[in-house]
A and B are shown apart, each in its own frame.
Chain A
């Protein structure tokens, strides 16, 4: 085993410790940087599988956050290896069948289910990166084939709904306990991911509305669902903006009260969606 792999093992171990606090960013970052340095994520998953994370709810929950972060920010191989390790990741959801001693049982189950949905999505729609950062060609490709576009939007919406369920569950569990940092920290990747998905859905739907015309009935259900998801997203970000831990760490996107108009839009609208850094207020 090389020196770097030994360091990686230490980082994984420290990221998934038994302490009921957010996984330390420096250790999670070390895992992410490792996947880029080596253009491979095998060692990350292997290292994680060797840890006794299944003995305790806290390390298990922290490992799910770590996996999520590595899937998002790691080298593209993290997603490929994630698909290979799908069964193992799924098995983590069954370790604590009840509520659990520390009441993380349900959170672990739901988080795990979300990760599996995410992995399955990436498996059937190649070309999306881990955080769904806007890539023009993916959206063009899917729009040029309406059937594939329709399916991609549907699947993205399913994913967006599960993010919404998960964030509600997380927020609901926070009030009842004093150690809330760990639960709140699971919201960080969800904010980034939901915004990426939202931007994709918006530009793909716009493209499809544009190419299929206004009155296309096939699009109607998608548009209705888009509007209802928009209000969920708006509420989610509003709630996040009250949590200091979150606002100091990530830009919470500021959405306008009204859902974006899918038919009348110009270049500046598109540009605004593409530059979340400029759009969201900088937290200094």
Chain B
């Protein structure tokens, strides 16, 4: 509880935008999440051109976090994988431009205090995401499928409010 409280204070102190706060909550150090609802919220905001870069800034920071914060890295990869499918096309362009950030995580290592290798999850996620981004055809199909799914759910997009 206190941790999320500290995060709230940091959010205010560092002047993060509401979309950035969403990303920070979705990729926090808590053992659960990110939830689909959290990721969908962020995905919707990537369609706003003013919010896009601030969002990606936080994701970039989280992906480059140190080993102790491996949950930040793992969750931001999960989130980015979701955004690449459900977010705006700018996410795809950004991810391809910054592919090296993801690619170099394929050998991520972190052994925690109990001796467990927490890097496995990140290595697998990074490998999958890299493969997806390098496969133009599959990526197009995945985004097509995502668009249909979103359509069926009632299509919350650009500017729609809850």
Point out residues on A near B: beta carbons under 8 Å: 24-26, 29, 32-33, 36, 73, 75, 188, 248-251, 275, 277-278, 282-284
Contact = CB atoms under 8 A, between A and B. Distances in A.
B109 A284 contact: no
B139 interface: no
A250 B106 CA distance: 8
A177 to B, nearest CB: 22
B123 to A, nearest CB: 7
17 contacts: A24-B109, A25-B107, A25-B109, A26-B66, A26-B67, A29-B104, A33-B64, A33-B100, A33-B101, A36-B100, A36-B101, A249-B123, A275-B135, A282-B127, A283-B120, A283-B124, A284-B120
Interface in B125-146: 127-128, 130-131, 135
A98 B103 CA distance: 38
Nearest to B117: A248
A275 B135 CA distance: 9
B108 interface: yes
A278 B124 CA distance: 12
A241 to B, nearest CB: 17
Contacts of B100: 32-33, 36, 73, 75
Interface residues of B, number: 20
A137 to B, nearest CB: 15
Contacts of B117: 248
Contacts of B124: 282-284
Given A32-B100, A32-B104, A73-B103, 4 more contacts: A24-B109, A29-B107, A275-B135, A277-B130
B27 to A, nearest CB: 18
B120 A275 contact: no
B56 to A, nearest CB: 15
Q: Which of B107, B117, B123 has the most A CB atoms < 10 Å from its CB?
A: B107
Interface in B41-81: 64, 66-67
Contacts of B64: 33
Contact of A275 (B101, B104, B131): B131
Contacts of A248: 117, 120
Interface string B83-112: 000000000000000001101110111000
A188 B120 contact: no
Contacts of A32: 100, 104
A282 B125 CA distance: 11
Nearest to B101: A33
